[in-house]
A and B are shown apart, each in its own frame.
Chain A
Amino acid sequence: MKNDEQTIQRLAKQEYEWGFVTDIESDTVPPGLSEEVIRFISAKKEEPEWLLEWRLKAYRHWLTLEEPHWPKVQYPSIDYQAISYFSTPKQEKSPESLDDVDPKLLETYAKLGIPISEQKLLAGVVAVDAIFDSVSVATTFKTKLAEEGVIFLSFSEAVETYPELVRKYLGRIVPHTDNFFAALNSAVFTDGSFVYVPKGVRCPMELSTYFRINAAQTGQFERTLIVADEGAELSYLEGCTAPMRDENQLHAAVVELYAHEDAKIKYSTVQNWYPGDKDGVGGIYNFVTKRGLCAGDRAKISWTQVETGSAITWKYPSCILKGDDSIGEFYSVALTNNRQQADTGTKMIHLGRNTRSTIISKGISAGRGDQTYRGLVRVGKNAEAARNFTQCDSMLLGDRCGAHTIPVIESRNPSAKVEHEATTTRIGEDQLFYCNQRGISTEDAISMIVNGFCKEVFRELPMEFAVEAQKLLSVSLEGSVG
């Protein structure tokens, strides 16, 4: 068990080291942030004037802000002038075939059940487009989406092809003034995804960042904008279960979801960025702003997240329930092992009548992991008969980890019903002995008990993702007990 843990740590660390194999290219701006840098980024991307102005406005606002320190996480202060905000894709030394890849890395992939073609991608043997071109998945995929009128492009492509559509919705839900990291993202974001599903269209397939051409460079400051027009429906998958190579320590993404009347958006995330070594050295800081707006009546937005990676996670996927009878959901599993820290939760803002929200949060702490659930349920004075149900469960493995719950409920309408349930449990020696006595190893027992604990969240994930997520939890927990 110890060996496995070391293996995983080593793997992850290796990937991190790979990130520093960089060839300096002429298109890279020197570290630092200024109006010139933003102009440079915008020019490089051949953006329209309005977008440059939008970025500059965000930047000027960002200058007036201070980095927030209210989350219950600790890290050395970030030098924003030491970050390089634009670089073209690096020409890294890529392995020629899977034979050249560290067998330990392949072992992890095998444990996660990742198909060979995806292993090649993750290990950097091939680029995303190469794979999908060769099997022509992408072509089929694009044709099918086009038939339905669904737009699914990288953010840059969308700005070029559908500038008016992007302009109409960008920053509507997360304005540049929202918070420190959202302002920073607005100023310097390099790419991301754009989705538009037209009126009455039910998107014929799960939209996965896997399948988006050029998805390989997710970038440090990613921007995602998803719009579901009246009666449209879509399911979007972000992230991947395998440890991904990444050279950027700070990730500050912004995701905006806009649901018109009767529209449904389901957004699922599996986040497994490098968590740092067992002492917390290295590791990604994942400071994300995610928010959805149920703008029209009967709209529905559902967030599901499985967060096992990153040294520090700081995110609160939220829903603004503006339309009457609109629905917001948040299903979350967060796991912190070793020295990982997570401060995560959600906000449900009830504005419309008969709005409903459900929050199911499952936190697992192991090693010296520390995590906080932070939630806000706010019922506005016009939100007649609004309802919320919150369940917030924590599970502790060992005696050096921490779990904290900070729920805030604000109701300004007497007809609202808000329920909050919370539990803290621990995997007991008696449970493990019982499993052992039936022939089940301790490691399998922990994985079974933890997966049982997370069942209500996993069943919200698309089938394939759910299976992967279960395996991911098991791998992430290896070596955490005994």
Chain B
Amino acid sequence: MLQIRNLYASIDGKEILKGINLQLPSGEIHAIMGPNGSGKSTLSQVLAGNEAFEVTAGEVLYQGKNLLEMPADERARDGVFMAFQYPVEIPGVSCAQFLRSAVNAVRKHRGKDALDAMDFLALTKEKMKLFDLGPELMRRSLNVGFSGGEKKRNEGFQMAMLEPALAILDETDSGLDIDALKVVAQGVNTLRDPQRSFLVITHYQRLLDYIVPDRVHVLSEGRIVRSGGKELALKLEESGYAWITDQPHLESAS
């Protein structure tokens, strides 16, 4: 699904990613963990196509295509979804309006007809249940006045509507209480599919109790310094990041 090779990226001239290598096969969930400032969010922004970040070296293959050559909207239509750590507010644009534009842009790209208002509404009702959201949300301005939990659940709901092939969850657990966390995690789990891969970015192990990863990668100072199974997350929880970051870099982490 996703192959990242020797990826370097910087923002405002400051180098953040310093040679990332990662393989994410179809149907798997990989977690990226790491201390603050290690480059976790930069990695997700670069994969989603945020032009504020400059890729200085390396390549990313997504379903065999050169992802870095595609603009952000094309990546999204092609099945790359990122749940934002800080979802953006758009006053005056309702959730329904926004989502319908998005869904139909993606459908058009996939050669499907645009959904009419009735079909769209029916689909939203079904998918909203997954994230415990009520229909009144659709009439509200996008993310305006939403609680932290509502914002994150809304991100999950959008993901369910857009049916991506690659879903990147950028610190979806931040700002969530345990109940909201469970709701989001359950929603995500229902979307698990052999044709869909997840990259779950998180600071804490907690989320991984509910979304169980196939592999865990530890990011430090712009490099993946350790990879392992889900037990790696538990070890991190016990020992803290110092346990890994104090060690010399492991050159062949994958």
Are A and B associated in one complex? yes
Q: Could you list which residues of chain A lie within 8 angstroms of chain B, going by C-beta atoms?
A: 425, 428-431, 433-442, 444, 448-449, 451-455
Q: Does B158 contact A (CB under 8 A)?
A: yes
Beyond contacts A448-B101, A451-B93: 13 other A-B pairs, Cβ-Cβ < 8 A, are A428-B88, A431-B90, A434-B88, A435-B73, A435-B102, A437-B48, A437-B49, A437-B84, A438-B99, A438-B158, A439-B109, A452-B90, A452-B93
The residue that A440 contacts in the complex, of B48, B88, B105, with Cβ under 8 A, is B105
- Mask: chain B, 65-91; 1 = CB below 8 Å from A; 0 = not: 000000111011100011010011011
Question: CA separation between A452 and B88, bound complex, in Å?
Answer: 15
Question: CA separation between A435 and B76, bound complex, in Å?
Answer: 10
Question: CA separation between A452 and B98, bound complex, in Å?
Answer: 10
Q: Does B50 contact A (CB under 8 A)?
A: yes
Verify B77–A431 contact, CB threshold 8 A. Answer: no
Verify B98–A439 contact, CB threshold 8 A. Answer: no
Contacts of A437 in B (CB 8 A): 48-49, 72-73, 75-76, 81-82, 84
Verify B102–A438 contact, CB threshold 8 A. Answer: yes
Verify B76–A444 contact, CB threshold 8 A. Answer: no
CB contact under 8 A between A430 and B88, given known A438-B158, A452-B93:
yes
Contacts of A441 in B (CB 8 A): 73, 105
CB contact under 8 A between A452 and B92, given known A439-B77, A441-B105:
yes
CB contact under 8 A between A449 and B101, given known A436-B71, A439-B162:
no
Verify A438–B98 contact, CB threshold 8 A. Answer: yes
8 closest A-B pairs by CB:
A452-B92, A438-B102, A452-B93, A436-B72, A439-B76, A434-B88, A439-B105, A436-B73
22 of the cross-chain contacts (CB-CB < 8 Å) are A431-B88, A433-B72, A435-B73, A435-B98, A436-B72, A436-B76, A438-B99, A438-B102, A438-B158, A438-B162, A439-B105, A440-B73, A440-B76, A440-B102, A440-B105, A448-B90, A451-B93, A452-B90, A452-B91, A452-B92, A452-B94, A452-B97
Question: CA separation between A435 and B48, bound complex, in Å?
Answer: 12
Contacts of B105 in A (CB 8 A): 438-441, 444
Which of chain B's residues has its CB closest to A441's CB?
B73
Verify A439–B50 contact, CB threshold 8 A. Answer: no
> Nearest Cβ in chain A — how far from B38, in angstroms?
22
Contacts of B102 in A (CB 8 A): 435, 438-440
- Mask: chain B, 51-75; 1 = CB below 8 Å from A; 0 = not: 1100000000000000000011101
Contacts of B91 in A (CB 8 A): 425, 452-453
Most B CB contacts (10 A, CB to CB) among A425, A433, A448 go to: A433
CB contact under 8 A between A439 and B90, given known A434-B84, A444-B101, A452-B141:
no
Verify B90–A440 contact, CB threshold 8 A. Answer: no
Which of chain B's residues has its CB closest to A453's CB?
B92
The residue that B90 contacts in the complex, of A429, A436, A449, A454, with Cβ under 8 A, is A449
Verify A433–B50 contact, CB threshold 8 A. Answer: yes
Contacts of A439 in B (CB 8 A): 73, 76-77, 102, 105-106, 109, 162
Q: Could you list which residues of chain B lie within 8 angstroms of chain A, going by C-beta atoms?
A: 48-52, 71-73, 75-77, 81-82, 84, 87-88, 90-94, 97-99, 101-102, 105-106, 109, 141, 158, 162
> Nearest Cβ in chain B — how far from A477, in angstroms?
15
> Nearest Cβ in chain A — how far from B28, in angstroms?
22
Contacts of B76 in A (CB 8 A): 436-440
Contacts of B72 in A (CB 8 A): 433, 436-437
Question: CA separation between A444 and B158, bound complex, in Å?
Answer: 18
The residue that A455 contacts in the complex, of B51, B92, B158, with Cβ under 8 A, is B92
> Nearest Cβ in chain A — how far from B62, in angstroms?
14
Verify A442–B73 contact, CB threshold 8 A. Answer: yes
Most A CB contacts (10 A, CB to CB) among B50, B72, B84 go to: B72
CB contact under 8 A between A448 and B93, given known A430-B88, A439-B109, A440-B101:
yes
Most B CB contacts (10 A, CB to CB) among A438, A449, A454 go to: A438
Question: CA separation between A433 and B71, bound complex, in Å?
Answer: 10
Contacts of A454 in B (CB 8 A): 92
> Nearest Cβ in chain B — how far from A379, in angstroms?
31
Contacts of A428 in B (CB 8 A): 88
Question: CA separation between A264 and B247, bound complex, in Å?
Answer: 79
> Nearest Cβ in chain A — how far from B129, in angstroms?
21
Contacts of B93 in A (CB 8 A): 448-449, 451-452
Which of chain A's residues has its CB closest to B88's CB?
A434
Question: CA separation between A434 and B158, bound complex, in Å?
Answer: 12
Question: CA separation between A439 and B98, bound complex, in Å?
Answer: 11
Verify A448–B97 contact, CB threshold 8 A. Answer: yes
Question: CA separation between A425 and B141, bound complex, in Å?
Answer: 16
Verify B73–A449 contact, CB threshold 8 A. Answer: no
Question: CA separation between A431 and B49, bound complex, in Å?
Answer: 14
Question: CA separation between A455 and B105, bound complex, in Å?
Answer: 22
Contacts of A438 in B (CB 8 A): 76, 98-99, 101-102, 105, 158, 162
Which of chain A's residues has its CB closest to B97's CB?
A448
> Nearest Cβ in chain B — how far from A470, in angstroms?
11
Question: CA separation between A453 and B52, bound complex, in Å?
Answer: 25
Contacts of B162 in A (CB 8 A): 438-439
Contacts of B51 in A (CB 8 A): 433
Question: CA separation between A429 and B94, bound complex, in Å?
Answer: 19
Question: CA separation between A429 and B81, bound complex, in Å?
Answer: 18
Question: CA separation between A433 and B82, bound complex, in Å?
Answer: 11
> Nearest Cβ in chain A — how far from B145, in angstroms?
15
Most B CB contacts (10 A, CB to CB) among A429, A430, A442 go to: A430
Question: CA separation between A436 and B75, bound complex, in Å?
Answer: 9
> Nearest Cβ in chain B — how far from A457, in angstroms?
11
Which of chain B's residues has its CB closest to A433's CB?
B50
Question: CA separation between A431 and B142, bound complex, in Å?
Answer: 11
> Nearest Cβ in chain A — how far from B167, in angstroms?
12
Contacts of B90 in A (CB 8 A): 431, 434-435, 448-449, 452
